[in-house]
Chain A
């Protein structure tokens, strides 16, 4: 019994140390962002600021235009989420419930296309967007993100089990398919839409490579792109860079913490389906 207690205590200590080490970079990031300029470049490193200052945040928003980048990130993440939810849920519904020729083949081709890495399509999509004249505009990020196989797949799996009779009954009452989709299917699919929306929002917010390619004009940069750019001129200003990292991470963290139930559900769906 005593040995069991000792083992349990040891486990708690080990897990607690591991957890502290995991979050240490975040703690240091926040602490350094509140430190007066230059103070985090000393030896031995200071773990807590001698005095708290918000000067770096002030500098970021007032002099370095970070408010604009923040807005770009927010506009893109919200609009990609909304538009792709609409497009993918409509297609997911059709694949789950409508009968049409070649359905299984089309769906199989869609799923198979997931194996092709985004890096293959990156160059032609860039050329296409250039021809369309939407580089350096929000559309340059929104258009290619509109439809996703993962999204269609997730919604389809969720809706397959909805009984046909429910839709038939609404049709007999004279409802068109779009009305049925809007008033019956969307509310039914709400949990999976929350999961998918959360994934899309966070994925778009965190994305780096695509906005880096499409948004070459500075005022169109997203936060991650702007952060990488700032590093070029301000690599010496550790505290300023940490403040920039906080501004980039905190919104996505808040969204995650608020809706983590849906996120965690979604992340295990793929694995358990196996």
Chain B
């Protein structure tokens, strides 16, 4: 409907102004900064900043620590995301069984980690992983398994952070899957039952294909969240031991805000952006192939 110019300006200026100032201009600025040697001296004397073309990007691609961070992030995402989604799916399927009682209570228990402060639970888990007094090693010892130096062993530090991430996040995928399950017509299950399909077969032939759009959504959200992996290594391992848990965002933070190499950090940020763009393009292609539509 029609509206006066003043109204439109009044209603849109705060939001669009905020977006312009804190999103769109900074994106452009980050791109420009990534072509300069902006560092701690530039903070005081901006004139000192020089344009160095693609040097930062060349440096990124030749930086072994950056590649370690990329591989660590891919490890975290590649193992953590599928496990989180699968655990969430199983939780949703279990809570969807009609005979199950106390559903709300169970759903609440599984969802609780999602809403709690990541930093606080990371602190808690740091103590759960304590090599001598931690509950997790106590459980292992009770089961007759050798205890593990979870956060101190380069081999085990990443699995430890992945386990924490699964615990923290599976409730989210569970909830989305539960909503998706509600939308599957019961007649499909009846038809499958008439054809003699057992519970597992019903899940495999009805639930999984029917949940495909939900799964795509959960996957993209989880991937994007996991690529930004930062707080867990920040408080639990500081990226160690031996850089085994250094993530791309943690490295970006260190370069940008500890060493004030802002030109270099901006180049890292754009490489991260490329990874996100790749995920989104893949998502769009899948959607287009399956549903013949874009977005």
Interface residues in chain A, defined as those with a beta carbon under 8 Å from any beta carbon in chain B? 8, 11-12, 14-16, 18-20, 22-26, 28-29, 32, 40-45, 86-88, 90-91, 93-94, 97-100, 106, 110, 113, 115-128, 130, 143-144, 146-147, 149, 152, 164, 167-168, 176-178, 181, 202, 205-206, 208-209, 213, 223-225, 227-228, 231, 238, 241-242, 244-245, 248-249, 252-253, 256, 260, 263-264, 267-268, 270-272, 274
Are A43 and B124 in contact, with the CB atoms below 8 A? no
Do A90 and B14 contact each other (CB < 8 Å), given the known contacts A19-B106, A209-B230, A271-B180? yes
Which of A124, A209, A260 contacts B33, CB < 8 Å?
A124
Are A181 and B11 in contact, with the CB atoms below 8 A? yes
Instruction: For the complex, give the distance between the alpha carbons of A22 and B17 in Å.
Output: 43
Are A90 and B23 in contact, with the CB atoms below 8 A? no
Are A106 and B16 in contact, with the CB atoms below 8 A? yes
Interface class of chain B by DSSP: helix
Are B94 and A14 in contact, with the CB atoms below 8 A? yes
Closest A-chain residue to B113, C-beta based?
Answer: A22
Contacts of B4 in A (CB 8 A): 177
Closest B-chain residue to A23, C-beta based?
Answer: B109
User: Is B86 interfacial (CB-CB < 8 Å)?
Assistant: no
Q: Which 9 A-B pairs have the closest CB atoms?
A: A147-B18, A91-B15, A124-B29, A124-B26, A121-B26, A94-B11, A19-B109, A224-B119, A245-B120
Contacts of A267 in B (CB 8 A): 172, 175-176
Q: Which residues B1-19 have CB closer than 8 A to chain A?
A: 1-4, 7-8, 10-12, 14-19
Are B123 and A26 in contact, with the CB atoms below 8 A? no
Instruction: For the complex, give the distance between the alpha carbons of A268 and B109 in Å.
Output: 18
Instruction: For the complex, give the distance between the alpha carbons of A112 and B101 in Å.
Output: 43
Contacts of A181 in B (CB 8 A): 11
Which of A125, A225, A274 contacts B22, CB < 8 Å?
A125
Contacts of B188 in A (CB 8 A): none
Interface class of chain A by DSSP: helix
Instruction: For the complex, give the distance between the alpha carbons of A24 and B3 in Å.
Output: 56
Interface residues in chain B, defined as those with a beta carbon under 8 Å from any beta carbon in chain A? 1-4, 7-8, 10-12, 14-19, 21-27, 29-30, 33, 43, 91, 94-95, 97, 99-101, 105-106, 108-110, 112-113, 115-121, 123-128, 130, 132-135, 138, 167, 171-172, 175-176, 179-180, 183, 213-214, 216-218, 224, 227-228, 230-231, 234-235, 249, 252-253, 256-257, 262, 265-266, 269-270, 272-273, 276-277, 280
Instruction: For the complex, give the distance between the alpha carbons of A26 and B126 in Å.
Output: 13
The distance from the CB of B254 to the nearest CB of chain A, in whole angstroms, is 12
Which of B16, B106, B108, B272 contacts A15, CB < 8 Å?
B106
Are A177 and B7 in contact, with the CB atoms below 8 A? yes
Contacts of A19 in B (CB 8 A): 105-106, 109-110
Are A94 and B8 in contact, with the CB atoms below 8 A? yes
Contacts of B101 in A (CB 8 A): 12
Closest A-chain residue to B7, C-beta based?
Answer: A177
Closest B-chain residue to A87, C-beta based?
Answer: B14
Instruction: For the complex, give the distance between the alpha carbons of A19 and B106 in Å.
Output: 6
Contacts of B21 in A (CB 8 A): 128
Contacts of A146 in B (CB 8 A): 14-15, 18, 22
Provide 14 A-B residue pairs closer than 8 Å at the C-beta atoms, listed in order of the A residue.
Answer: A15-B106, A42-B133, A43-B138, A113-B24, A120-B26, A123-B26, A149-B19, A202-B115, A206-B118, A208-B119, A227-B123, A228-B119, A267-B172, A270-B217
Are B217 and A122 in contact, with the CB atoms below 8 A? no
Which of A29, A90, A124, A245 contacts B30, CB < 8 Å?
A124
